[in-house]
Structures are given as C-alpha cells and as structure tokens.
Amino acid sequence: MPETVLVPMKEHLEETIQKAIAAHADEILAKAKLQDGARENELRNGLSWALQSIMEKIEAGMTVEIRVIPPAKGATVAEADVFRDVAAIAKQLEFPKLTGEPVMVLTDDRANAAE
C-alpha cells in the first residue's frame, strides 16, 4: 500500500490504542478507591506506561505471563470466583504465530521507567 494510505491508518491505530490504554488506566484507578486524589495522576502515568509496555510486547509476539496472588482466606465468594474464572481462561489461551510488521514499536522499558 502507498504511504499516503499507510501513514493515516497507522496514526489512527496508534490513537485508538492510546485511547484504550487511557480508558483501562482510568477503569483500574476507579476500582482502586484511592483515599485522596493526590497521587492519582502519578498512578495513572505508571499504569499507562505499564499497559503500553505490555501491549508492545504482546504485539511483537512475546508471550506475557501475568501472575496473580490468590484471594485471601477471608475473601468474598465473588473474589474467589473471579480468581477461578481467570485461572480457567488462562488455561484456554492460544498464542498464534504472528506475521507482518507490528503497529507498535518496542520501547526500552528501563529508559521509560526513569522518567
């Protein structure tokens, strides 16, 4: 495809990805029930960076393992159910071989972590 088609398409994809990352970071923060909003922007920046990093790695074809601590003994039934559901889904995941160039470019995590 000509660059005149690819460039706007790539820009649109990158914008869509950034919006999705921002929405997921906001969703996670909303569930965190912070005591005060003093660190909200700091946490949002860290979450956005982490989500971006994970997305880049997945798109590049890397398998990302995410480990979750099981719910505490006094956890609600709903919390235990969610943990079991995630464990069941994890066993069913399939990772197909990727072809073509990724949309996202892998960044150096160490350089971004220092910012």
Per-residue pLDDT at 23: 93
Per-residue pLDDT at 82: 81
Q: pLDDT tens-digit profile of 82-94? A: 888 888 887 887 7
Nearest CA to 9 out of 85, 96, 103 is that of 103
pLDDT < 70 stretches in the chain = 36-38, 109-115
Q: Where are the domains of the chain?
A: 3-113
CA distance 102 to 115: 25
CA distance 78 to 89: 16
Per-residue pLDDT at 58: 81
Taking each helix axis as running N to C, give the angle between helix 40-59 and helix 3-32, from 0 to 180 degrees, rounded to the nearest 10: 130
Per-residue pLDDT at 60: 80
Interacting residues of 28 by C-beta distance below 8 A, sequence separation 6+ = 47
Model-level pTM greater than 0.85? no
Per-residue pLDDT at 112: 53
